[in-house]
Amino acid sequence: MATELKPGQKRLTPGAIFADIAIVAWFVFALFPILWMLLLALKNDAQQTSTYFAFSPTLENFGTVLSQRGTDLTSVDFKSAILMSILNCGGAVLVSLLIGIPAAYAAGRYRFKGSEDLMFNMLSFRFAPELMVIVPLFVIYTQIGLFDTVFGMIWVLQLVTMPLIVWILRSYFEDMPEDLEQAALLDGYTRRKAFTMVALPLVRPGIAAAALLSFIFAWNNYVFPLILSDTAASTVTVAITKFLGGGGQAYYNLTAAAALIGALPPLVLALTIQRYLVQGLSFGAVKG
């Protein structure tokens, strides 16, 4: 490979080739399990344990997982789990947005006494061992009848969604020049109008990123539905692990199909709005 050296441009040195090989090696490692999940999900019952890479693919498993037959086979009602995941996580994100946006705005705009404390409390939720809260909540929930309900799940998922939304949005509000709102106020807007007509549209990308990111993390959450729900409000993550189940026959292909369905919303979001998610992640962490 005869490459002409141009000044100021990087060449194909041994080091660069080695670096590319190293990157490829990482991504083989990182992507293989996802590929494997896809392959396994496409195998039929007979081939699920007898073949590795060569097999006759079928889409049957996805239908089975979502149908009554799948429920009969594995005693997991996956359809209801999906519905519950959507309700729990959607509800949790909505509540967090309604409550978190004003708080994030207050913390980003005003330096008020206790604002840092509030923010620190928010962040410390992220680091608190979940079970410290779940064990008492388990007792409380069973006493007041919130156990295994959507409302109970939305409430406890605030622990996941709220800190993320408040922390990400606070940095967006901080970065927004105050002049814009001041100008709106001078133009005769009320405070509220200046907020809804000027500030809010400007941070819309931030709101979208924070909402979707927190939706993904709520969707992916496992301990809360594992302990605080049983069958009625149980979610996708809990259902998938039940496929692996202890006794009886193991349905590897059904497990993989369920796992793929459960991983689909985050994967689709990650591939389409990856830039915003990365930004949200780094905003939430680095600036905090």
Q: How far is CA 287 from the centre of its chain?
A: 20
Instruction: Count CA atoms closer than 13 A to 94's CA, side-chain side.
Output: 8
Closest approach, Cβ 249 to another protein, in A, equals 13
Closest to 153 in 3D by CA, of 84, 210, 100: 84
Q: Give the residue with the Cβ less far from another protein, 80 or 189.
A: 189
Q: Is 144 in the site for another protein (CB under 8 A)?
A: no
Query: What is the footprint of another protein within residues 92-121 (CB under 8 A)?
Result: 98-100, 102-103, 105-107, 109-110, 112, 114-115, 118, 121
Query: What is the footprint of another protein within residues 253-282 (CB under 8 A)?
Result: 255-256, 259, 262-263, 266-267, 269-271, 274, 277-278, 281-282
Instruction: Count CA atoms closer than 13 A to 166's CA, side-chain side.
Output: 26
Q: Is 232 in the site for another protein (CB under 8 A)?
A: no
Q: Is 140 in the site for another protein (CB under 8 A)?
A: yes
**Among residues 147, 173, 237, 257, the one that binds another protein under rule CB under 8 A:** 237
Closest to 84 in 3D by CA, of 164, 36, 152: 152
Spatial distance between the Cα atoms of 223 and 8, rounded to a whole number of angstroms: 53
Draw the binding track, 57-86, toward another protein (x: CB under 8 A; -: no contact).
------------------------------
The one segment of 56-64, 73-81, 146-154, 252-260 that binds another protein by CB under 8 A: 252-260
Closest approach, Cβ 1 to another protein, in A, equals 14
Closest approach, Cβ 77 to another protein, in A, equals 18
Q: Give the residue with the Cβ less far from another protein, 59 or 140.
A: 140
Closest approach, Cβ 23 to another protein, in A, equals 5
Contact criterion met (CB below 8 Å) for 130 and 124? no
Q: What single-letter amino acid sits at 219?
A: W
List of E strands, the chain: none
Spatial distance between the Cα atoms of 206 and 37, rounded to a whole number of angstroms: 32
